[in-house]
Structure 1
């Protein structure tokens, strides 16, 4: 478009704007030629030989593909099949005007896929030339593999493994533009100091961002080193845009949640302190989707449901007597620890771990008691150091407790007088129970047997907190079903070893016995839908995370969860009571609109309640209280968690989220669009097309000689497919996506000036008989003039009533379009029609202005008169 003219030294120069590239150039008059715009053609009724409705349809499709790729990256050669909520999330962030967001989707909704799509799309836009991903240490390799295998992003390197920076200047090497780093390594003073010398990052993405913790106590702020890591990067202006990923951003702690929001938008600190008074602000910062809301592309809910059963196993008089003796031992131990003050905390810690081990398996407590007695009877030269501080990574809590308790127990002094004799009695009782373990017998003979009754090859995931119990179960399963059927995951294994165990389990195994090391970050749903929890964690959130390994997107079966429950001992009764009360509260909250019960909503609420209810500490203190007092404390904690969950739900009502109704208004590119476009372009270009090749799974194209060079082909016959798996198997068949040179060449042709299709008249069965289809790109920019957002829309103007992307027009896009005679040209009618459509678009641009977004322009693509096809062909009108 010419926006300004000037006459200099006898030469006419014109300032020409190229909207797609967002550039302006002064050019001499003789390099320019007049091309009527869409608006000009419509206002003057200019039809020519290339103004056919089929060319208009193909032109619109080509622009749709360009827009879809730019805003989602979903047409690239990616090993993903994105769901509507994932597409919406990426599209929403890219078109929001800023890239600082908290992505708080439920566990299992594919936050890694969403993050990968976002990174890929930003790189396509050339807006992510430098990216830093900060993750827990155990997930760095997984992130690298996901980005490489799914998104074809092979240049991400892991800091500390693939490279290490020892001099600040080394960061300026462009081979370090795409980095994955462990938050616990980068937070260390030396590494952080080096990192602060790096060039600013276009995008910093933090996985499991709830680990960035800052609490407020009165006027004092207590921040973790992980929080300070990101805060310091922000403060030093090393972050252009920040994306935080976490399924549990609130955790019932408003100050902690607000701290995360401050990292996103430091300039809004004062407003964020009063977020309750202005919750609409969350809509520009937080996006949250729930399992109960998301659907597939056909509108079907993607989760097949979950069934949870509590399986009670029998207890014996011997087990109850053992528990009484153990409770007596524990009370003496707790009293001994308390009498020593702070130095006695270690003894109390050991007593608590013994309780957990006893609730896990008789084998686990039996072995720990033996270890303790042996250490009392041996003279140790030197005792190892130990640390009872909170665990950096809660996935290894059980294993860490087990190890730390053993180290503390390696003292040669009794915790209390007579401990040795008490241990001998407990070991004798535990030995007898071990020889006739009713819990293991029930697990093997009843639970496993009933699980395999329908299919002897069914795969089963088994969780326990402790390594001793894991070994105990693995041995029993191996003896019964063979060692080759049993595989393990625990904290002693590297990520590569864990992934290898999963691969063996999914390919040829039958049982995967895992500690909490497999409870988060690893996906096990592809070949398994049955989970057995041999012990129940004292922290309910860990149970939710375990279930999330199977109950996630891609799971094709109903998930079955079996919780082994052996009531009859004090702690196991308390744990069973806790889960029972939790289930009651969650079930009650999942009743909506009177008595209607929402099963999917229950799963959402369970995760929120488990995240907020601090029940582990209550159980730990239950040793000093009677069971009624413990029950009351659990009820009080659940009531507080219920209130916090309700407040969080009210707060997150204002967050952005997937809305199926709004999503359905958008034009979502499908395989049918691609097929329709290619078949239509082949007809226009006179390319012979055989759609029955390989039983329809591929298409064979025969090119005219003059097109073979244009498409850079060595042979006249070229095969294409829309099936990713087939393209992997056949190198001679090209997959149609945005990486396809053939596909991009067709788009270039369809969007070129010479292709036509800016104005046409098409037959469309619609009422009223005469309507207008208006295809346009609506664009927004920031205050610096940089394009930030773009929307592709089809408007139907039917007698002054304008609708956005109506179903009949979307359907028209998928089929060959037939020309019909245009209406009699009336200059004033055309002017009023265009003015009405343009004003409607302008109002939409104004309504959708977000934070930092201002209108840029409205670019018409094509206009079509849409009529019933009852009249004669349009041939006689073309010469006009």
Structure 2
């Protein structure tokens, strides 16, 4: 029965006496009795089960949830919106704004309170210096919390986000629609932006189930980066970390954050399993341009990848596509991507050619040429690419002629016999050509193994054929996979062609002299390494090779001169921890880091190194771009120098260098009015398009069949098509949304320095002992027993904590705790400051920083979608000066950075009528501001006051 509930202290009750009511508040409720203090200040004991006792609440009252039962977490502050009597229970429908819930509550568990607006309207303005300080801290807490909720930029990240990344995340999350194509230039941090979006959505509690779909070779990298860069450790790889048996589909409920390979998931059996999962809050496709659907007359031809995305679209609330090259000069494919995002706008998208501006609320694109750091400085210092031509020798030319003859006969054999055998021989020839371009050691070792296998008369062809599918799955591991296949596969029971063994033996004889007098390594050391170190003996150099045999060869030679401690290796056979240890050694005390493609995937070395040497040139031009991306990225303070070694007497290498020269000429033609990063971004786009237009590796491997002129013609045709595609892509993407200096002009922006300022204030107001070390950017805090128990996961058995709000300091000092928004300590103090019981609702503040304003109000605005879900929150600081109200003027938050000076207690305050006028003016301006920022996706939901201050300096 309702009378079994006991009103909590603070509950507003009324007691019926004859035909009148007596109103009062419960003071205590011990021993099943309640003591009530009535309006006339008299106190009496009342039976809580008495039928005469009822609630004194009314619609519009502000209340707190004080449910006393253990295990119930308070819903916080809310507003009464409705009243009912149901089955003998007197209940009130309360709108709890913080958690966006409306709940029917028994009146016995509700406490009437006065919010900031009510206090000010009735002139209840505190003169307490403590209350003024709490008002300041409450404002900072809400600012910090909402800024992170809108950008994710204060969460656990291993870098300070750049303005363009913050703008992008804020723009998307504020748009009211989470279906976007993120099309930033290569190297601008789409991974970082994705991590920030996930953090922000998690803080909003609107994205519990997330599915991230990537190319096969990137699933592990995404998992590692989400963990190491963003502290997001709940992502599991489908098919690796877990599987879902067809008869146990309920197990999907155990996996809310999933990463999957697109090529695994696209198969029918996996699609069916995936579609049986619970709906996803967010699905993200990396390299979204791989979702291909082309129009053929009135019919569409969709790839399996596109079909997967289309089926998943019906199981996802929101979809985000990531691609630096989403258009690729093919309008129908681009429209197909946009239709995945916004299927309801299909008719509009069909007219994209005449209405390209419609992509502005679907596509966001940042250009390298435009991005800056927080101080407005362009972040990319540029790069210099040097083609280092290695002089030939008579011995090298002889070896090249012999190799050319070997390849000619081998490729001829690859066109005869069974298809599988032919394919295997062709693969061996192509791999040998790449090894020859890499180093004399690599090709010589391969040829020696070939001789040994022929003489052992074993069969290797089937092993090679079986491995080709694996090789093609992830080209980033191609070099190492090719070596592994050649090393571990068995020999055929006959030569590839008549006389192969004799020709191999002649090649080995020629290679002996070359190995003893290796001009390439000598030139690499004398003309590149020695000159780099002569300029700066402490310089660090990143060296790339496609093959581990070459990697070992370079290492052995460098160790002979510079010592074992100077050289580190990373390759695809190493674990993440092994690679991390090698990188740390290189960054701290090493001089050279030698990496393969697979080893270098996902590593970032821009903080320690700015010089790269490509000992060999990959046939796929995009792999060269990816290599350079290890150094040429945000955080690089110097101009990046790249040295590309090539031997002009090698036809393959000569063609590749010629292709790069041609690209440079195209870029110069297209960018006569631009320079610097515009050109570099354009070059990367063209390289990407070349990789899309033709398979450069396939063209080069067919060089012997096509001849030099036809091969050059195919490369030239691909470059012309790439140029055309890039022009078309740039034309349409010029209409995409992009970062703007105006993006955040009306936002209360926050940085880690605000967290530092806030935490210092919270330590002081809680009487927690601390020492601030501004020169080190650290805080040393001593916690008492209660706090030690609360923060045991961080403190362990210690009572003293070294902490910082600076990410750089935290990364350089492993024993220093980072106080970002992912820290339980920061979260505790934010929760404390934003709680009603903290205070700071209405106070007089003596602020001498800005004498323009007489009142400052902090409010939280909320917008909802058409179904009432809160999709945007914004902190608004209203500064009033005698009738003139400005919402979020520039620098408004700065008024809350310094601790308030003591307030003169005799200072006259406004009377109630004046206070009501102030409230009316502020409410009017807030309503106008909300109307201006609402649209079909963002419907007004609520405006709630946080606090209001009167500035004493004007009185």
Secondary structure, aligned partner of 2:317: coil
How far apart are residue 481 of structure 1 and its match? 3.4
Instruction: Show CA shifts across 1:160-212 (max 9, x none).
Output: 44433335426437543333444444445555444443333333334444555
Change (3 A) 1:292 1:171: farther
Q: 8 Å contact 1:58–1:680 — kept in the other structure?
A: yes
Q: Which of 922, 931, 938 is residue 843 of structure 1 equivalent to? A: 931
Q: In structure 2, do the counterparts of structure 1 residues 747 and 762 end up closer, same or farther at CA, with 3 Å as the change threshold?
A: farther
How many angstroms apart in 1 are the aligned matches of 2:826 and 2:658? Answer: 64
Q: Structure 1 residues 193 and 438 mapped into 2: Cα distance closer, same or farther (>3 Å)?
A: same
Alignment partner of 2:142: what SS?
helix
Aligned to 1:197: 276
Indicate whether 1:172 and 2:255 are aligned.
Answer: no
Report what 2:922 is aligned to: 834
Does the CA-based 8 Å contact 1:541-1:611 persist in structure 2?
yes
Partner deviation per Cα, 1:826-874 (whole Å, 9 max, x = no partner): 589647733651343133322xx36x4322123333445669x4x55xx
Deviation at 1:793, TM superposition (A): 2.6
Are 1:314 and 2:391 an aligned pair? Answer: yes
Of 860, 871, 880, which residue of structure 2 is paired with 1:777?
860
- Structure 1 residues 763 and 403, CA gap change in structure 2 (3 angstroms): closer
User: Which residue number corresponds to residue 857 of structure 1?
Assistant: 942
- What is the alpha-carbon distance in structure 2 between the residues aligned to residue 651 and residue 295 of structure 1? 24
Structure-2 change in CA distance of 1:440 and 1:856 (3 Å): same
Q: What SS does structure 2 have at the residue aligned with 1:790?
A: strand
- 1:559 aligns to 2:637 (yes or no): no
Tell me by how many angstroms 1:783 deviates: 1.4
Question: Could you say if the C-alpha distance between residues 742 and 557 of structure 1 is closer, same or farther in structure 2, counting changes exceeding 3 Å?
Answer: closer
* Aligned counterpart, 1:534: 615
Matching residue within 601, 610, 617 for 2:687:
610
Please, what TM-score do these two structures have when normalized by structure 1? 0.83
Q: Residue 39 of structure 2 aligns with which residue? A: none
Q: Deviations over 1:6-41 (max 9, x none)?
A: 575999865432222223345677876765555566
* Cα deviation digits, residues 459-508 of structure 1 (max 9, x gap): 32222223443343333334433455444344455555545544554455
Change (3 A) 1:552 1:382: closer
Q: Deviation of residue 543 (structure 1)?
A: 0.6
Shift of 1:363: 3.8
Question: 1:290 matched to which residue of 2?
Answer: 367
Q: Report what 2:13 is aligned to.
A: none
Return closer, same or farther for 1:728/1:562 CA change in 2, 3 Å cut-off: closer
Greater shift in the superposed pair: 348-357 or 534-543: 348-357
| Closer/same/farther in 2, CA of residues 256 and 746 from structure 1, 3 Å limit | closer
Is 1:21 the equivalent of 2:106? no
Work out which of the residue numbers 839, 852, 868 in structure 2 matches 1:755.
Answer: 839
Change (3 A) 1:676 1:493: closer
Map of 1:361 onto structure 2 = 439
| Structure-1 separation of matches of 2:503 and 2:274 | 55
Pair 1:707–1:525, CA change in 2 (3 A):
closer
- CA drift of 1:381 comes to 5.5
Q: Which runs of 5+ in 1 are unaligned?
A: 873-880
C-alpha contact 1:770 1:866 (8 A) present in aligned 2: yes
Structure 1 pair 701/209, CA: closer, same or farther in 2 (3 Å)?
A: same
Long gaps (5+) in structure 2:
1-59, 62-79
Look up the match of 1:523.
604
State the distance in 2 between where 1:29 and 1:370 align: 88
Residues in 2 aligned to 1:484 and 1:506: alpha-carbon distance in whole angstroms:
12
Q: Of the two structures, which has the highest relative contact order with CA contacts closer than 8 Å and spacing of 6 or more?
A: 1
Q: Given the alignment, which residue of 510, 521, 524 partners 1:440?
A: 521
Deviations 1:329-365 (A, max 9, x none): 5456556656879785665555544443433334444
Pick the aligned partner of 2:804 from 722, 739, 743: 722
Q: Does 1:459 align with 2:540?
A: yes
Q: Distance in 1 between matches of 2:501 and 2:549?
A: 23
Secondary structure (helix, strand or coil) at the match of 2:534 reads coil
1:794 aligns with 2:877: yes
Structure 1 equivalent of residue 892 of structure 2 = 809
- Note closer, same or farther for the CA distance 1:102–1:574 as it changes in structure 2 (3 Å cut): same
User: 2: distance between equivalents of 1:33 and 1:503?
Assistant: 57
- CA distance in 1 between counterparts of 2:125 and 2:172 reads 40
Q: 1:499 to 1:228 in 2, by over 3 A?
A: farther
Please name the residue that 2:196 is paired with. Answer: 117
Distance across 2 between alignment mates of 1:731 and 1:580: 49
Tell me, what secondary structure is at the counterpart of 2:661?
helix
| Residues 786 and 7 (structure 1), Cα distance of their counterparts in 2 relative to 1, 3 Å cut | closer
Tell me if structure 1 keeps the 8 A contact 2:424–2:464: no
Aligned residues: 859
What TM-score do you get using the length of structure 2 for normalisation?
0.77
Counterparts of 1:273 and 1:140, CA distance in 2: 34
Which of 375, 378, 384 is the equivalent residue of 1:301?
378
1:395 shift after superposition: 0.5
Q: Secondary structure at the match of 2:472?
A: coil
Q: Cα gap change, 1:659/1:357 in structure 2, threshold over 3 Å: closer, same or farther?
A: same
Correspondence 1:57 to 2:145: no
Query: What pairs up with 1:592-741 in 2 under 5 angstroms?
Result: 592=673, 596-597=674-675, 599-613=676-690, 614=693, 616=696, 618-620=699-701, 622-623=703-704, 633-663=714-744, 666-680=747-761, 691=772, 697-698=778-779, 721-723=803-805, 735=819, 737=821, 739-741=823-825
Mark the CA change 1:720 to 1:458 in structure 2 (over 3 Å): closer, same or farther.
closer
CA contact (8 A) 2:460 2:491 kept: no
Structure 1 residue 315, shift from structure 2 partner: 1.6
Measured in 1, the distance between the counterparts of 2:758 and 2:253 equals 40
Q: 1:572, 1:62 → 2: CA distance? A: 59
Equivalences for 1:87-102 in 2 at 5 Å?
Answer: 87-102=166-181
**811 and 362 in structure 1: CA distance in 2 versus 1, 3 angstrom threshold:** same
Aligned mates of 2:303, 2:881 — CA distance in 1: 60
**Counterpart-to-counterpart distance in 2, 1:730 and 1:386:** 47
- Deviation, 1:158, is 3.8
Larger radius of gyration: 2
Query: Deviation of residue 563 (structure 1)?
Result: 0.8
Q: Quick one: distance in 1 between partners of 2:853 and 2:555?
A: 74
**Structure 2 Cα separation of the partners of residues 467 and 854 of structure 1:** 59
Task: Answer whether contact 1:84 1:295 (CA < 8 A) is retained.
Answer: yes
Whole-angstrom CA distance in 2 between matches of 1:590 and 1:612: 17
- In the other structure, the counterpart of 1:877 is none
Give the superposition deviation at 1:392.
1.6
Distance 1:550 1:104 in 2: 21
Q: 1:734 to 1:395 in 2, by over 3 A?
A: closer
CA-to-aligned-CA distance 1:756-801 (integer Å, 9 cap, x gap): 444757656668x556544332211111111111122334456887
Shift of the 483–693 alpha-carbon distance from structure 1 to 2, 3 Å rule, reads closer
Residue correspondence of structure 1 range 138-149 to structure 2 within 5 A: 138-149=217-228
CA distance in 2, matches of 1:742, 1:723: 10
- Mark the CA change 1:355 to 1:702 in structure 2 (over 3 Å): closer, same or farther: closer
**Of 585, 588, 591, the match for 2:666:** 585
- Give CA-to-partner distance per residue, 1:654-686, whole Å, 9 cap, x none: 334333443465333234323433455566677
Residue 582 of structure 1, CA deviation: 1.3
Aligned to 1:875: none
Deviations 1:352-392 (A, max 9, x none): 44443433334444455555566666644674343356812
